[in-house]
Structure 1
Amino acid sequence: MPNVPSPCVRNCCLDQNDICLGCSRSIDEITQWSLASDSEKRRILERAAQRRLDPKSALGSTGR
């Protein structure tokens, strides 16, 4: 999957753990997106999907 598209849904609002309520990425993942390789972007998307399934997983899983 070359040129992985951003998951941004233009609903940027961070929760108490600095996870975006719109796309479920951490603030670090959001700021690093443009510099990340396609493989790292896919890992970011996997972590975001996991956070959506289990919001408690956001604790300690920010990609930092």
Structure 2
Amino acid sequence: MTTVPSPCTNWCDINPENGYCRGCYRTLTEVADWSDFSNAEKLEVWSKLKKRKPQTTE
């Protein structure tokens, strides 16, 4: 069985304004519980990250 990879970017800093890590955009609970999550739970977190990440204009 393949394990869903962590979105961690090794920049761990929780933004106090929204509660998301500035590196991977997970919540502190999601970061702490990642290793205990099932693959389905990990995929659910991944699906939320794009919405959480601020969009940049080029």
TM-score range, shorter chain: 0.7 to 0.9
TM-score using structure 1 length:
0.75
Partner of residue 20, structure 1 = 21
Equivalenced residues, count? 54
Q: As a proportion of its length, which structure holds more helix?
A: 1
Distance in 2, matches of 1:18 and 1:24, equals 9
Paired-residue identity, %: 35
Q: Unaligned 5+ residue runs, structure 1?
A: 55-64
SS of match in other structure, 1:2: coil
Runs in 1 of length 4+ with deviation above 3 angstroms?
A: none
Aligned to 2:43: 42
The CA deviation at 1:2 is 2.9
